[in-house]
Amino acid sequence: MASKATFAGPSGLCIEATVALTLRSAGNGESTNGSSDTPVRPRKRQRRPETWKRAVAKSKRAKGEEYTSPSTGVTVLSRGTGPDCRCRRRCFDSVSQSERAAILAAFYGLGSKDLQDAHLFGLIQSIPVKRRRPRGDGRTSRRATYTYVVRVAGRSETVCQKAFASLYGVSVSRVRRIAQATSTSICAPVDKRGKHPRRSRIQLGGEVKEQIRQHIKSVPALKSHYSSGKSKARKYLSPLLSVAEMHRLYVEKHESNSETPLVKYSYYAKILTVNSILHLEGPR
């Protein structure tokens, strides 16, 4: 295999020379850090999930701001009051322009879909249907009717479903879903988007962890020749390999028959760094 050949690499001499250099400089760094109080700069870039494209889009969406979906590339304009219901009750006229703006601002100020749904949940009341008449055409009769209340400063207005959706700038289908929850459960439905337990979460147990550890150990590493201090037992990642490459080799060896790898790169990298089996600060 081509990848095996790269392990052997060019002459070991040249690699060892570079490692020796790096070790010496690393040693110096440690001694200065030990004597002064300057905080140690983390070697690795930190994970900042809140800055990931999808998280940014999700947050903007929940705040009712304009966002572009990273998966579809579609730009969704910022939320505003929806169309007038134009029903007999003239629901829209019961809420003034400035009140509409205040409702939207407060609602989107909640910032998360779960909080918003909980808020809407509290404004919808389900009234069980008293008497069901059998319908010959096979349609299932409705189980409940709902009342929708819009809370404005100092008073509450009962409006129709369409007006309710429009005033909160949400879709009628979202209102319908929450309304259905009011007749079956005691609290609002929780956002399940993107939260389905993945296979990896369930199946990644101790065995897989150990397998990853063994794989990391099996990869040819560079050993330090210096027996002083910490560096004695340290092993370094070969400059011919990257963590991504190691992960690829792992998947090739242990998961060749699964379509999507159980062990993701991030998980593999985490095991590698947390367990300090291999140190990454190789020659640059």
Nearest residue (CB) to Zn ion, 90 versus 155? 90
In angstroms, the Cα distances linking 149 to 5, 101, 112, 123 are 71, 17, 21, 5
- Angle of CA points 89, 94, 99, to nearest 5°: 145
Q: The tokens of 221 are what?
A: 């590493």
Torsion of CA 259, 263, 268, 269, to 10 degrees: 70
Residues 191, 113: contact at Cβ < 8 Å?
A: yes
Nearest residue (CB) to Zn ion, 94 versus 183? 94
Q: How far is the CB of 175 from Zn ion (least distance, A)?
A: 13
Nearest residue (CB) to Zn ion, 23 versus 85? 85
Nearest residue (CB) to Zn ion, 163 versus 181? 163
Nearest residue (CB) to Zn ion, 160 versus 237? 160
The footprint of Zn ion (CB under 5 A) covers: 85, 87, 91, 160, 163
- The residue among 207, 170, 211, 197 whose CA lies nearest residue 82 is 170
What CA–CA distance (Å, rounded) separates 36 from 29? 11
- The residue among 60, 156, 173, 160 whose CA lies nearest residue 103 is 156
Burial 188-214 (b: 16+ CB within 10 A, else e): bbeeeeeeeeeeeeeebeeebeeebee
Q: How far is the CB of 140 from Zn ion (least distance, A)?
A: 25
Q: How far is the CB of 93 from Zn ion (least distance, A)?
A: 9
Q: How far is the CB of 149 from Zn ion (least distance, A)?
A: 13
- The residue among 197, 158, 198, 58 whose CA lies nearest residue 114 is 58
Nearest residue (CB) to Zn ion, 87 versus 190? 87
What CA–CA distance (Å, rounded) separates 178 from 190? 10
Nearest residue (CB) to Zn ion, 166 versus 231? 166
Q: How far is the CB of 205 from Zn ion (least distance, A)?
A: 55
Query: Residue 282 carries which side chain, given as an amino acid letter?
Result: G
Q: How far is the CB of 116 from Zn ion (least distance, A)?
A: 21
Q: How far is the CB of 165 from Zn ion (least distance, A)?
A: 10
